């Protein structure tokens, strides 16, 4: 039973043949409808069809000098036949085969949950050729840079970026966000998401085998192979247990018969019954049925576990460390304040004209910069309809800012480091203003013309709307300690943590310092690290459980994390905890139930001479119940 039923294709029809032969055999045996001498022929067919898979497994194991559960079952069935109890052996093999078929059905069902993602992804896309004609092309042949047309109501065939059109896209399959997202030119879209209402043209950004959906499917497939600890424990337990049962059964046959003078038949019959009831099928399947269902449930709801072991790992978490940027916050700075300054009068001016001039100068300098602050400044200029000035002789100074020439004047846009020399000559009021803004958690950019300041631009990274809700939920779920790690300065960290009910803040960290903080936290608790993956890779790898956010974007996160949250949804973390705790409950219910059944049946054999048939039904019935209990984890909840 607890094996990779990868050769399962034939198991269901064989189980059916087995059942039919048993019924025909019983008719021949106990009624006059069929001649009695046919009974044995039908039973032999039942044995062959019911025992085929178990026999194959047994041979494979015996080749490696191992005994397994299948061996116990086959031996018990043959024992029954020797006793002339053909029908009981046949029922045993039928139930054994049935629970095998059900097990593969259960595993198959949870795999289907993943493959339903694949179904959503169309197998072809409408390629727009350079001459403007359209051609349906298999997604494997689409190359990066090709243009693909997607009509309303179609699933998007491949990861790409919109070149033309706007629409809303239902991304729940990939990111788990239930609300459709508005997409316009320049936005990324994922394969297997549903284009709701607009016609869009997109530029292919990843080949079919590297799309987010393909990665998710690989991840989940490997997760189901990557087994949970309890299951590993049971895997080493299986051969040892099989050997001890075989030894015990041989003892039960030979000691009473040879030494105590009991008659052979009844002694042998009892030994065979012990053999049947002692097979721990239910025990062996109890973990995989539950864990795999939990993995499939997670995958459907945007929580990807990389392996069964991580489902168990997540249960014990009591400390959660969040990276700030991109995890608790949106990860994109926005302009929060524009302060124009007139150096002649040493005054801050509020009129729109000077503000517009300020942003136009800054945007002029920043328009070709790759820096994320530049992006925020450009976006703001765009929203306020400030036309960026034309800048010449631009020169970027890494880590500081940009110098350029606008209308023949020397201008500079940058941080404090850039102006350390000039700032001595500047008035106190502008330095004080910058300091105030910084205290509030802003990044401050100075803009100067001919070495004289003309104003400040304040930018800040805003907290995600669901951060607070998530932290409140985690507290309710009994998480002891919530920590924030950030490379940002302490003021910014303080400003953000103030809203969020966080226990500890560690600011100004380099990636390797994050690792030190985690090592300290690990001494006092079981630590999950939540990060967005790019700079958090070392910390994700080191924590007891690495959780990567928004991995619809970054590959590094998918590689190093143990759990990946699709979409940027922090509220998936409480869901993950709920699901893993429930999975653990189900695993232990299954283990204790199956052990109890074995003990009860063994007691029955010795105390009330439990007949073989009852042993068979109790044994296989418990296996079915355990598989069904595990399948409950496929239901959504939380």
Question: Largest Cα–Cα distance of the chain, in whole Å?
Answer: 118
The span from the CA of 449 to the CA of 436, in Å, is: 23
Whether 188 contacts 202, CB under 8 Å: no
Q: Dig out the tokens for 425 from the structure.
A: 């000559």
- The helix/strand/coil state of 390 is coil
Which residue in the block uniquely carries the two structure tokens 């549903």? 194
The span from the CA of 76 to the CA of 559, in Å, is: 47
- ∠ Cα 471 475 493 (to 5°): 40
Identified catalytic residue from 70, 146, 159, 323: 323
Residues with Cβ < 8 Å from 585, sequence gap 6 or more?
none
323 noted as active-site residue: yes
The span from the CA of 135 to the CA of 66, in Å, is: 57
Q: Are strands 504-506 and 481-485 parallel, antiparallel or unpaired?
A: parallel
What would the DSSP string read from start to end of 120-146? HS-SEEEEE-TTS-EEEEEGGG--TT-
The span from the CA of 97 to the CA of 210, in Å, is: 39
The span from the CA of 400 to the CA of 26, in Å, is: 89
The span from the CA of 117 to the CA of 300, in Å, is: 9
Q: Which of 379, 303, 225, 268 is nearest to 575 (CA)?
A: 303
Which residue in the block uniquely carries the two structure tokens 């097979």? 279
Q: Which phi and psi angles does 83 have, rounded to 5°?
A: -75, -5
CA 389 to chain centre: 47
Q: Which of 164, 121, 115, 120 is nearest to 140 (CA)?
A: 121
User: CA–CA distance from 410 to each of 13, 244, 357, 368, 378 (Å)?
Assistant: 83, 88, 15, 18, 20
Q: Are strands 124-128 and 527-531 parallel, antiparallel or unpaired?
A: unpaired
Q: In 203-219, which positions are buried (b, 16+ CB within 10 angstroms) versus exposed (e)?
A: ebbbbbeebbbbbbbeb
The span from the CA of 5 to the CA of 417, in Å, is: 64
C-alpha torsion 139→144→145→148, nearest 10: 20
Catalytic residue annotation: 323
């Amino acid at each position: 039973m607890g094996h990779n039923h990868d050769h399962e294709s034939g198991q269901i029809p064989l189980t059916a043949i087995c059942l039919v032969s048993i019924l025909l055999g019983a008719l021949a045996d106990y009624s006059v409808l069929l001649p009695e001498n046919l009974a044995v022929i039908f039973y032999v067919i039942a044995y062959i069809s019911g025992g085929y898979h178990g026999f194959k497994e047994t041979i494979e194991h015996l080749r490696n000098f191992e005994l397994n559960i299948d061996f116990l079952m086959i031996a018990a069935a043959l024992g029954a036949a020797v006793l002339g109890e053909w029908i009981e052996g046949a029922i045993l093999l039928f139930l054994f085969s049935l629970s095998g078929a059900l097990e593969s059905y259960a595993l198959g069902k949870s795999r289907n949950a993943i493959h339903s993602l694949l179904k959503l992804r169309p197998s072809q896309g409408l390629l727009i050729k350079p001459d403007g004609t359209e051609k349906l092309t298999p997604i494997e042949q689409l190359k990066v840079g090709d243009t693909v047309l997607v009509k309303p109501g179609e699933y998007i065939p491949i990861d790409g970026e919109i070149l033309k059109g706007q629409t809303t896209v239902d991304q729940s399959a990939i990111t788990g966000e239930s609300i459709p997202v508005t997409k316009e030119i320049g936005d990324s879209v994922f394969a297997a998401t549903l284009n709701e209402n607009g016609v869009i043209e997109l530029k292919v950004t990843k080949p079919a085998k590297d799309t987010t959906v393909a990665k998710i499917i690989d991840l989940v497939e490997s997760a189901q192979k990557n087994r949970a600890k309890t299951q590993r424990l049971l895997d080493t337990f299986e051969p040892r247990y099989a050997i001890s049962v075989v030894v015990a059964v041989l003892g039960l046959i030979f000691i009473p018969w040879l030494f105590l003078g009991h008659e052979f038949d009844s002694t042998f019959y009892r030994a065979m019954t012990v053999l049947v009831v002692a097979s721990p099928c239910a025990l062996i399947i109890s973990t995989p049925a539950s864990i795999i269902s939990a993995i499939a449930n997670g995958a459907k709801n945007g929580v990807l576990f990389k392996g069964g072991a991580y489902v168990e790992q997540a249960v014990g978490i009591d400390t959660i460390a969040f990276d700030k940027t991109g995890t608790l916050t949106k990860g994109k700075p926005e302009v929060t304040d524009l302060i124009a300054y007139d150096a002649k009068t040493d005054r801050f001016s509020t009129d729109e004209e000077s503000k517009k001039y300020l942003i136009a100068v800054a945007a002029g300098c920043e328009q070709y910069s790759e820096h994320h602050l530049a992006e925020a400044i450009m976006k703001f200029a765009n929203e306020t309809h400030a036309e960026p000035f034309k800048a010449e002789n631009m020169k970027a100074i890494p880590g500081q800012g940009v110098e350029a020439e606008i209308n023949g004047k020397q201008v500079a846009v940058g941080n404090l480091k850039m102006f350390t020399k000039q700032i001595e000559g500047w008035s106190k009021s502008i330095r004080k203003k910058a300091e105030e803004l910084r205290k509030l958690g802003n990044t401050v950019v100075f803009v100067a013309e001919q070495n004289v300041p003309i104003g400040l631009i304040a930018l800040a990274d805003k907290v995600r709307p669901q951060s607070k809700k998530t932290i409140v939920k985690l507290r309710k779920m009994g998480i002891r300690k919530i920590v924030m790690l950030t490379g940002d300065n302490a003021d910014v960290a303080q400003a953000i943590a103030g809203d969020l009910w966080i226990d500890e803040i560690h600011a100004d960290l380099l990636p390797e310092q994050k690792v030190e903080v985690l090592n300290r936290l690990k001494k006092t608790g079981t630590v999950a690290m939540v990060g967005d993956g790019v700079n958090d890779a070392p910390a994700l790898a080191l924590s007891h459980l690495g959780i990567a956010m928004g991995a619809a974007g970054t590959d590094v996160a998918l590689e190093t994390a143990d759990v990946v949250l699709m979409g940027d949804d922090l509220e998936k973390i409480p869901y993950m905890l709920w699901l893993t705790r429930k999975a653990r409950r189900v695993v232990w219910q299954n283990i204790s139930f199956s052990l109890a059944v074995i003990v009860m049946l063994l007691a029955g054999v010795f105390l009330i001479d439990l007949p073989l048939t009852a042993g068979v039904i109790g044994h296989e019935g418990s296996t079915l119940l355990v598989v069904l209990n595990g399948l409950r984890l496929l239901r959504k909840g939380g």
